[in-house]
């Protein structure tokens, strides 16, 4: 397609020369204008790819024309023609939005080359931009589909639960003999039904878990955790399982292991999955070793402030070609040893999701016939970063409160600003701030985006509550929230059990009322 | 001694039957409601010794039924065991906040349920 070029010059001879030269030798479609005003008029009526304008013209000069075009028709390219000695004007034109400039006297070859270059570049840019737009659209579509998928999984698994419960109850009733005696064959097949109902339930749970992880809806309850205890506990709970195959589970944890910051239940789930897998894929009489390593002394270690936990087995191992895909969902390695191993194919995907929700990493080393080692990292507890003195006071308060049949205190923190919208991120940052002020006996209870309210519940008597309240207020003052200009008002309100023996919801309402004052 | 009264609240008829049967075999007297409003009325009228309460119910949801009973001095002593397909942590939190004694997700182990029922009734 011919490129449309508008030549603007107050000298008739130059216009005529450019018209001929550019259409004949450049292959452009050329139109002419003798002033900036006329050029704008023409641009208003029909589109041009490029405007080639003189600098000095009566009334509107080239610079003003370029500025106007940049404002009114930003998609139109502009090139300035200047006489020698006016390089400053040329640069000024570029600043105003011109793509290039050409020095007079004009060299025809150079001029055509420059015009083509500028136009080509623009075309490339347009193509790229189209491409980027298309990508963005596809991306949005995919995000929508993905959230629909998560929604579907969640609804489906809820809907399936009730009928599944009825089937399970019915089968268990018959198996228990309460509905009358059953013979061996009936028992065998009812047990089979029961096993498969349980399997179906596991799949449902895994699917739901994974969809929550993938949609970022997973709820983690962070606290400081001593790993040794959890590891020992999880290992013992799986030992009966391992004993069935005469597999030994050993735990080697160094005494000096720092506490980690994580969700206890989820960490147990990670360990259970990994140890369970190890049992599954290890031959009778094998061995499983669980170890933990403190963060490296020199802080530049690539996993930095993290504890690394490993579950090592001397089982059948994983073929090299599967190592990459093993954490993907529904990936299962075929193996002659384990045709009977039934899993959902989601365990490792969930495990990986849970580790990543803790800002950790997980990886595997394995050799066929020799065994596998799964290692994952967890962040070291934040307790050091908190004010130790404050922690001491709080811990003492909580202990005392507990001994005295602790009343509960609810803190309500409301963010508001003058008229404008408080961004969601502000609330998130506030939550981080407040979390730093609470100890492990307290937690963020509710976060109401709409009302811009954060509620935290603590076990504390009135004195303890005072301390925390003061601390929260100080924390907010010391770490002001940048909201992009708008002044933010933060109110902290409290209500205490059992002053009113109410549910947390009631307490929430009451505190909200108090916030008003 | 009169048999203990248990109110089962669930809108799924089949599920109710599979729970009713073993409980009756244990000798309990069973009442049934298929919606929240009826559950509340029956609970107030019959004053059962324990309630098994589903959450997603027609007319009045289980959370509300639980709250209305648990914040009423006349009925707050009745143990309420929530039996629900809602498995999210926040649902559970809400359930416990409204005053439920237990939050059990479906499907569940019948033996566990029977044990829990017995434990609450013997308290």
Confidence at residue A152, expressed as pLDDT on a 0 to 100 scale: 83
Residue pair A294/A262 in contact (Cβ under 8 Å)? The answer is no
Q: Does B21 lie at the interface with A, CB-CB under 8 angstroms? A: yes
Cα distance between residue B80 and residue B70, in whole Å? 9
Kindly report whether the global pTM for this prediction surpasses the value 0.90.
no
C-alpha distances in Å from residue A316, one per residue of A250, A272, A343, A373, A403: 18, 19, 17, 12, 53
ipTM here: 0.86
- Give the residue from A310, A201, A289 showing the smallest Cα distance to A242: A289
- Give the residue from A310, A15, A362 showing the smallest Cα distance to A6: A15
Q: Does B71 lie at the interface with A, CB-CB under 8 angstroms? A: yes
Residue pair A279/A242 in contact (Cβ under 8 Å)? The answer is yes
Whether B18 and A219 lie within 8 Å, measured CB to CB: no
C-alpha distances in Å from residue A180, one per residue of A167, A175, B114: 18, 9, 19
Cα distance between residue A349 and residue A326, in whole Å? 8
Residue B81: pLDDT above 50?
A: yes
Which of A497, A503, A507, A510 best tests the B interface by mutation, with the highest count of B CBs <10 A?
A: A503
Give the nearest chain B residue to A158 (CA atoms): B85
Within 8 A by CB and 6+ apart from A312, the residues are A278, A288, A289, A290, A291, A371, A372, A373, A374
**Cα maximum dimension of chain B:** 41
Whether B18 and A159 lie within 8 Å, measured CB to CB: no
Cα distance between residue A215 and residue A199, in whole Å? 24
- B53: closest CA of chain A, how far (Å): 13
> Residues of A with CB below 8 A from B85's CB?
158-159, 161-162, 165
Within 8 A by CB and 6+ apart from B14, the residues are A163, A166, A170
Q: Does B88 lie at the interface with A, CB-CB under 8 angstroms? A: yes
Per-residue DSSP letters for A18-47?
HHHHHHHTS--EEEEESSHHHHHHHHHHS-
How many C-beta neighbours within 10 Å does residue A508 have? 21
Q: CB under 8 Å, gap of 24 or more: what pairs does B28-33 form?
A: B28/B3, B28/B4, B28/B117, B28/B121, B29/B2, B29/B3, B29/B4, B29/B5, B30/B5, B30/B6, B31/B5, B31/B6, B31/B7, B32/B7, B32/B8, B33/B7, B33/B8, B33/B9
Q: Does B34 lie at the interface with A, CB-CB under 8 angstroms? A: no
Q: Which residues of B93-120 are buried (b: 16+ CB within 10 A; e: fewer)?
A: ebbbbbbbbbbbbbbbebeebbebbeeb
Whether B106 and A173 lie within 8 Å, measured CB to CB: no
Question: Least CB-CB distance to B18: which of A166, A208, A503?
Answer: A166
Under DSSP, is residue A270 helix (H, G, I), strand (E, B) or coil? helix
Question: Least CB-CB distance to B19: which of A161, A169, A219?
Answer: A169
The pair of structure tokens assigned to A227 is 């790993």
> Residues of A with CB below 8 A from B73's CB?
none
C-alpha distances in Å from residue A362, one per residue of A197, A286, A293, A335, B56: 31, 23, 14, 23, 39
Residue B92: pLDDT above 50?
A: yes
Under DSSP, is residue A348 helix (H, G, I), strand (E, B) or coil? helix
3-state helix, strand, coil in chain A (%, to 5): 50, 20, 30
Cα distance between residue B35 and residue A170, in whole Å? 22
Cα distance between residue A31 and residue A6, in whole Å? 5
Give the nearest chain B residue to A500 (CA atoms): B71
Residue A477 CA, chain-centre distance (Å), reads: 28
> Residues of A with CB below 8 A from B22's CB?
173, 176, 178
Q: Which segments of A176-263 does DSSP mark as H helices, in order? A: 184-214, 227-243
Residue owning tokens 């003798």: A34
Q: Does B25 lie at the interface with A, CB-CB under 8 angstroms? A: yes
Cα distance between residue A343 and residue A202, in whole Å? 9
Confidence at residue B70, expressed as pLDDT on a 0 to 100 scale: 85
- A452: closest CA of chain B, how far (Å): 19
Q: Mean pLDDT for each consecutive 10-residue tract of chain A (517 residues)?
A: 88 91 89 93 92 90 91 89 79 88 85 89 87 89 84 82 93 92 93 90 85 75 82 89 89 85 88 92 90 72 72 89 83 53 76 87 90 90 45 45 50 56 61 60 53 58 60 64 53 48 52 49
Give the nearest chain A residue to B55 (CA atoms): A162
> Residues of A with CB below 8 A from B110's CB?
168-169, 172-173, 176
> Residues of A with CB below 8 A from B18's CB?
165-166, 169-170, 173
β-pairing verdict for A408-417 and A453-459: antiparallel
Question: Least CB-CB distance to A166: which of B15, B22, B88?
Answer: B15
Q: Does B77 lie at the interface with A, CB-CB under 8 angstroms? A: no
What phi and psi, each to the nearest 5 degrees, are found at residue A482? Answer: -80, 120
Confidence at residue A212, expressed as pLDDT on a 0 to 100 scale: 80
Give the nearest chain B residue to A446 (CA atoms): B90
Confidence at residue A360, expressed as pLDDT on a 0 to 100 scale: 85
> Of A323-332, B1-10, B54-63, which gets the smallest average pLDDT?
A323-332
Cα distance between residue A398 and residue A395, in whole Å? 5
Question: Least CB-CB distance to A170: which of B18, B88, B99?
Answer: B18
Confidence at residue B13, expressed as pLDDT on a 0 to 100 scale: 92
Cα distance between residue B10 and residue B33, in whole Å? 7
Confidence at residue B35, expressed as pLDDT on a 0 to 100 scale: 94
């Amino acid at each position: 397609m011919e490129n449309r070029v508008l030549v603007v010059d107050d000298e008739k001879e130059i216009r005529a020369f450019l018209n001929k030269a550019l259409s004949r030798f450049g292959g452009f479609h050329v139109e002419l204008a003798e002033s900036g005003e006329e050029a704008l008029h023409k641009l208003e009526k029909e589109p041009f790819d490029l405007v080639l304008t003189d600098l000095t013209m009566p009334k509107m000069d080239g610079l003003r024309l370029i500025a106007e075009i940049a404002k009114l028709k930003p998609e139109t390219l502009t090139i300035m023609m200047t006489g020698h000695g006016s390089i400053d004007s040329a640069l000024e034109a570029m600043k105003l939005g011109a793509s290039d400039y050409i020095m007079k006297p004009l060299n025809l070859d150079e001029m055509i080359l420059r015009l083509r270059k500028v136009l080509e570049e623009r075309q490339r840019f347009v193509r790229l931009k189209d491409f980027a737009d298309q990508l963005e659209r596809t991306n949005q579509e995919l995000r929508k589909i993905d959230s629909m998928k998560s929604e579907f999984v969640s609804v489906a698994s809820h809907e399936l639960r009730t009928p599944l419960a009825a089937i399970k109850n019915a089968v268990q009733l018959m198996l228990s003999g309460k509905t009358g005696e059953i013979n061996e064959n009936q028992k065998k097949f009812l047990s089979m039904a029961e096993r498969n109902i349980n399997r179906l339930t596991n799949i449902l749970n895994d699917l739901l878990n994974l969809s929550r992880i993938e949609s970022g809806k997973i709820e983690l309850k962070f606290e400081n955790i001593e790993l040794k205890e959890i590891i020992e506990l999880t290992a013992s709970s799986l030992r009966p399982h391992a004993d069935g195959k005469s597999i030994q589970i050993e735990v080697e944890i160094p005494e000096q292991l720092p506490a980690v910051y994580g969700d206890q239940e989820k960490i147990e789930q990670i360990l259970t999955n990994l140890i369970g897998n190890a049992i599954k894929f290890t031959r009778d009489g094998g061995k499983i070793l669980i170890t933990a390593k403190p963060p490296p002394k020199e802080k530049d270690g690539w996993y930095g402030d993290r504890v690394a936990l490993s579950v090592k087995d001397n089982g059948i191992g994983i073929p090299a070609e599967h190592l990459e895909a093993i954490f993907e969902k529904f990936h299962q390695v075929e193996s002659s040893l384990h045709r009977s191993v039934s899993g959902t194919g989601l365990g490792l995907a969930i495990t990986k999701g849970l580790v990543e929700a803790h800002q950790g990493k997980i990886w595997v080393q394995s050799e066929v016939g020799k065994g596998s080692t799964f290692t994952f990292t967890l962040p070291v507890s934040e307790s050091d970063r908190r004010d130790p003195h404050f922690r001491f006071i709080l811990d003492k308060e909580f202990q005392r409160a507990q001994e005295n049949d602790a009343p509960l205190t609810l803190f309500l923190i409301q963010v508001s600003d003058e008229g404008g919208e408080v961004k969601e991120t502000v609330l998130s940052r506030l939550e981080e701030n407040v979390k730093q002020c609470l100890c492990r006996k307290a937690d963020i209870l509710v976060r109401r985006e709409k009302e811009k309210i954060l509620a935290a519940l603590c076990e504390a008597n009135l004195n303890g509550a005072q301390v925390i309240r003061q601390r929260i207020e100080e924390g907010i003052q010391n770490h002001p929230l940048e909201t992009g200009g708008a002044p933010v008002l933060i109110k902290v309100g409290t209500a205490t059990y059992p002053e009113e023996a109410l549910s947390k919801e009631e307490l929430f309402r009451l505190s909200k009322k108090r916030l008003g004052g | 001694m009169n048999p203990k009264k248990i109110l089962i609240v669930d809108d799924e008829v089949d599920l109710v039957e599979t729970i009713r049967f073993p409980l009756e075999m244990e000798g309990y007297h069973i009442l049934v409601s298929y919606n929240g409003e009826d559950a509340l009325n029956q609970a107030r009228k019959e004053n059962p010794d324990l309630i098994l309460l589903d959450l997603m119910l027609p007319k009045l949801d289980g959370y509300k039924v639980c709250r209305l009973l648990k914040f009423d001095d006349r009925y707050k002593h009745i143990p309420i065991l929530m039996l629900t397909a809602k498995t999210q942590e926040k649902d559970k939190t809400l359930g416990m906040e409204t005053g439920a004694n237990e939050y059990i997700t479906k499907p569940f182990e019948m033996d566990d349920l029977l044990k829990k029922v017995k434990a609450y009734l013997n308290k």
